[in-house]
Structures are given as C-alpha cells and as structure tokens.
Amino acid sequence: MTTDRLRESDRAQTGQTRVNFSDLGLSREVLRAVADAGYIAPTPIQEQAIPVVLTGRDMLGGAQTGTGKTASFTLPMIDILATGRVKARMARSLILEPTRELAMQVAAHFEIYGKYHRLSKALLIGGTSINEQERVLDPGVDVLIATPGRFLDLFERGRILLADVKILVIDEADRMLDMGFIPDVERIVSLLPRIRQTLLFTATMPPEIRRLAAAFLINPKAVAVDPPAHPAEKVSDVLVTVAPNAKREALRRLLRSEKVKSALIFCNRKRDVDTLCDSLQRYGFSVAALHGDMPQARRTATLAAFRRKDIPLLVASDVAGRGLDIKDMSHVFNFDVPINPEDYVHRIGRTGRAGLEGRAFTLATPEDGKYIAAIARLIRRDIPRIDLPGLSSVELDSGKVKRRRRRRKSNDRAGAGRETRPEARPDPAAQARETGRVGGGADPGKSTPPGESRPPGESRPVASAGARGAKAQREPAHRARHGRKPDRGGKPDRDSTDDAARGKTPAGLGDHVPAFLLQPPPAIRRKKP
C-alpha cells in the first residue's frame, strides 16, 4: 500500500475535511510535525477546536477517541506553551485522563506533535515509580499529563506547584464520571488558579457533566462532532451464536480458520480475561492478557509486545477497546457481547484501520439477545450471522433482563461444573503441530486435539462470597445499571485505570445542546454477510 493511499484512507476514517492545517493558525513547527505524522488535513474536531483553543477561550468539546481529538487540543497547546518558560516545581498546563493507557497515548502524541519544540512534559500515572515522577517534576514542566489519583498523591506530597497552570484539559469527562473520578477532578480544579483556560472533552452529556461544565468553564465555545455510531467501512463483522459452554471452542475454531495476523479478543470482565488467556495458552496459542488489575509495568510491556506483533493475540477488557490506537490489526473477537452498544463500535473499530481490511467476530449466547438487539439499533443493521461447521448454532433470547440474569447464573454454574472436571492435557504432539500458525492453533481440517470439546484443566474462577460482597459495595451504581460487574481496572492506588461497560445516556446541555447529540446516526452501508 502506498503512503498516499494510507493517508487517503486515514482521512476517510477520521472524517477529515478539505480545510488545511495551515488555515488554522498553527505555527510552522507544529505544521511540520503534523506533516511528518502523515496527516494531510484536519479532522472536523481539529478544524473546529484548534482556532478556538488558540484564542485562549474555554471550550466544551463533544468528541470521543477516534475523531482526532487529542491533536485538537495538543497542537494549539504546544503553540501556546511555546511562549513562556517553566519555573522550578511549577507546571504550566495539566491534562487529566481517566486511564493510564490514554495518558500514555496522549504523552506519546505530545512527543510526536511537539518534536520541533523544546517543551518538557511529565506523565503522572499510577503503577509506576512515584520517585521517578517526583524527579521529573523538580525542574518544572510545561505539560503534566496525569490520571487524577496519582496527580493528587504527588500534590499531597508537596511535589507540584500549581500557581502557574494556565491551561487545564479534562479529557473523557464522561468516562471520569463512570469511573468515580469526579470528586478527585473537582478537588484538582479547586487547587488550580481561577484565571486559566479550560478545555473539557466528553462524548456524552449526562447531567453531572453538564453541572461540571457549568462550574469549570467560563463562557465556553461548544464544538462537537458525531460520535462514531457506525463501524469503520473496512470492517466486516459477523455474529456467531453458540451455547455458553461452546464459546471457547468456537473461538479456537475461528482463530484457527481465520488468517489472523493480530487480534484483540474482548471479554467484559477482567477475571474472564485471565481465564480465557490461560485457556488459549493451554491450547498452544501465543496470547497475552491485558486488564486493569495487572501491574502497570506488565500492562505497558504487554501492549508494547502486542504493538510490535511479538504477541499476535491479546485478550483484553475494554481498557483496550476505547481510545487505544493499535495499527494493522486484522481481527477483533468479542468473546463477550459488549453491554453498551457503543462499545461494539469501539471494539471492532480497532481493526479495519489505515486502509486495511478488518474482520470482527462476536460470539453471542442466547441470553445476549437484548444486547445484540441494542447494537443492531445503534448501527442500524443486523450483524450478519454465520454458522461454524460442527458447532450447533442457537437462537438468541429476547426475554426480559431479569429472567436472563437468573438463567445466566444457572448457565454459569452448569458451565463451571463441566469445566472444573479434571481433564487430560492436550496431546503435546498435537500442540506442536498447531504452533505453525499465527496464534498457534491447529490448521483447519486437522484432527481435533484430545480434550477439544472439554477444555483441559480449565476452571471458571469463582470469587469468594466475601470478595464479591466487598467489590459489590464499591460498584453499586454500575450494578444498578447493568447487573454485571465490569472491569474497572483495580485500584492499587487511587487511579483506577480501566474502562468499563457503562450506561451512557446523552442528556442534552440545556440551551447549549451540541448538534451531535441531536443528530441521528448516519445511514449505514449494509454489508453482505
């Protein structure tokens, strides 16, 4: 693929317009860095936001990841910060991110866009050495990129002076809300100088975010772009309906029969991420896990290995579903149907990027019927269904949630009973044959390894009643909404770092309803099954 075609497809994917970056008032250095990054035209959010930010005005941005919003605030910030100097222990700007991964990604983009400037930055995220972060802060920094918990930890140690903060960015505000970070954010804002420029980005506008916007922003300019309500055109997505106890086998069959170069496999709950990863490893697949309970160093190393394609398969919770920009991924597998329909779009949008074809498979059990129906409503089409040879397909249940939940429990129990039976390990010779393929699984058509229909040594981890009780107390709001416990990333320190399934109800902005909240999703081109 030529660079031009790549750029052209990037442009189509992020919805760029025909306006040029040079029309937006950015400096020559920033324009050079943007050109080096291969961007040929600004995306709609960049086109709208950059001139506003450059004027120093507060802004309320209705945009989510995938729209190019990071550059919409980092590019003008670089130019604003280029004039002025840091003072010891002082920060000149602060970007708050809900997850460590997003913070790292923003820091990486700062590096790319600021390559022709000499701006200093500090990345303050949990799970990494606090002493090292203190050291970086000592001479003062132009940009602080932080998750709220670690930021407050360092502030309380007296390591950051905030009197010089001129720009505050609150990114993914609705996600901060979902993750319980708003009290921390409010505290941080109360520590900052009143005279500052504040940029608040959110994909949806629940009443709590509207309240925050009113409290934090002064005469803001509201800019908004459509959320990605439809999957990227280059992704062909299909649905496989199976019985709950056949999901792992269905996944293995798909991994073997598809030409998988690199794939994300999504689970809704972090405990299932590890279980599924272990199970796939036992079958000889080269796979790693990524979720919010892992130590940060391991998370970073795992992501880096996945980006390098050293590990072709990554089982992940939604921490990887949103925002993360991983190139050249051939496949996405939803081992669990996402509870929020938007997450379906985000998850499968991890593939089919940069002009490459992507394939997405969703494994649904009967009780997922309601979630599949919600996805179909959002993307305005049904997900085409396919049957897997040798696996019986099942019908989706469209019953009420309550009934389904009860059934889910009994299914889980039934599944656990089956899977905890002692099983023979797979035949090592068969495993060796399997490892010739990417991800390791056996070639289609080859004989099924022993233990195929009953996963070897797999057991469904069941949290102790005490542990479940304690966790349930920490997550009442989510449970009230969805009845399932999502991956929220664990909280070894204050900053929880994972994305979770969330109920997002765009609520409007009083007199300032952004247009994107009022527009129906664009029509979807129906794909052939």
Q: Is 234 in the site for ligand AMP (CB under 6 A)?
A: no
CA 442 to chain centre: 30
Cβ nearer to ligand AMP, comparing 111 with 132: 111
Which parts of 8-27 interact with ligand AMP (CB under 6 A)?
Answer: 10, 14, 16
Cβ nearer to ligand AMP, comparing 27 with 435: 27
- Say how far apart CA 51 and CA 63 lie, in whole Å: 16
195: nearest Cα among 170, 162, 166:
166
Q: Is 68 in the site for ligand AMP (CB under 6 A)?
A: yes
CB of 56 to ligand AMP, least distance (A): 22
- Say how far apart CA 313 and CA 320 lie, in whole Å: 13
CB of 70 to ligand AMP, least distance (A): 3
Distance of CA 135 to CAs 129, 140, 336, 421, 441, Å? 10, 10, 42, 53, 46
CB of 14 to ligand AMP, least distance (A): 5
Q: Mask 305-344, x = binds ligand AMP (CB under 6 A)?
A: ------------------x-x-------------------
Residue length, the chain?
529
- Say how far apart CA 125 and CA 101 lie, in whole Å: 9
Phi-psi region of 149 (alpha: psi -120 to 50; beta: other; left: phi over 0): alpha
Tell me which stretch binds ligand AMP (CB under 6 A): 64-72, 186-194, 249-257, 268-276. 64-72
Cβ nearer to ligand AMP, comparing 105 with 497: 105
Using DSSP's 3-state secondary structure scheme, residue 422 falls into coil
Cβ nearer to ligand AMP, comparing 70 with 99: 70
Size, binding site for ligand AMP by CB under 6 A = 16
CB of 519 to ligand AMP, least distance (A): 19
State which of residues 9, 33, 48, 67 lies at the interface with ligand AMP (CB under 6 A). 67
- Say how far apart CA 228 and CA 522 lie, in whole Å: 9
Q: Which helix (H) or strand (E) holds 210?
A: helix 207-216
Structure tokens at 65: 């990841």
Q: Which helix (H) or strand (E) holds 169?
A: strand 167-170
Cβ nearer to ligand AMP, comparing 65 with 245: 65
Contact 126, 497 (CB under 8 A): yes
Dihedral angle computed from the Cα positions of residues 367, 369, 370 and 376, in that order, rounded to the nearest 10 degrees: 150
Residue-by-residue DSSP string for 129-155: -HHHHHHHHTT-BSEEEE-HHHHHHHH
CB of 314 to ligand AMP, least distance (A): 18
Structure tokens at 430: 């068969």
Q: Is 226 in the site for ligand AMP (CB under 6 A)?
A: no
State which of residues 30, 53, 60, 71 lies at the interface with ligand AMP (CB under 6 A). 71
CB of 248 to ligand AMP, least distance (A): 32
CB of 347 to ligand AMP, least distance (A): 15
Q: Is 172 in the site for ligand AMP (CB under 6 A)?
A: no
Q: Is 70 in the site for ligand AMP (CB under 6 A)?
A: yes
CB of 319 to ligand AMP, least distance (A): 15
State which of residues 26, 53, 59, 69 lies at the interface with ligand AMP (CB under 6 A). 69
Q: Is 66 in the site for ligand AMP (CB under 6 A)?
A: yes
Q: Is 202 in the site for ligand AMP (CB under 6 A)?
A: no
Residues 6+ apart with CB under 8 A from 457: 282, 422, 423, 425
Structure tokens at 396: 């989706």
CB of 323 to ligand AMP, least distance (A): 6
- Say how far apart CA 15 and CA 21 lie, in whole Å: 14
Could you write out the three-class secondary structure of 12-58?
HHHCCCCCCHHHCCCCHHHHHHHHHCCCCCCCHHHHHHHHHHHHCCC
Q: Mask 24-53, x = binds ligand AMP (CB under 6 A)?
A: ---------------x--xx--x-------
Cβ nearer to ligand AMP, comparing 42 with 440: 42
Q: Is 227 in the site for ligand AMP (CB under 6 A)?
A: no
Tell me which stretch binds ligand AMP (CB under 6 A): 63-71, 241-249, 260-268, 417-425. 63-71
Q: Is 65 in the site for ligand AMP (CB under 6 A)?
A: yes
Cβ nearer to ligand AMP, comparing 42 with 338: 42
Interface residues toward ligand AMP, by CB under 6 A? 10, 14, 16, 39, 42-43, 46, 65-71, 323, 325
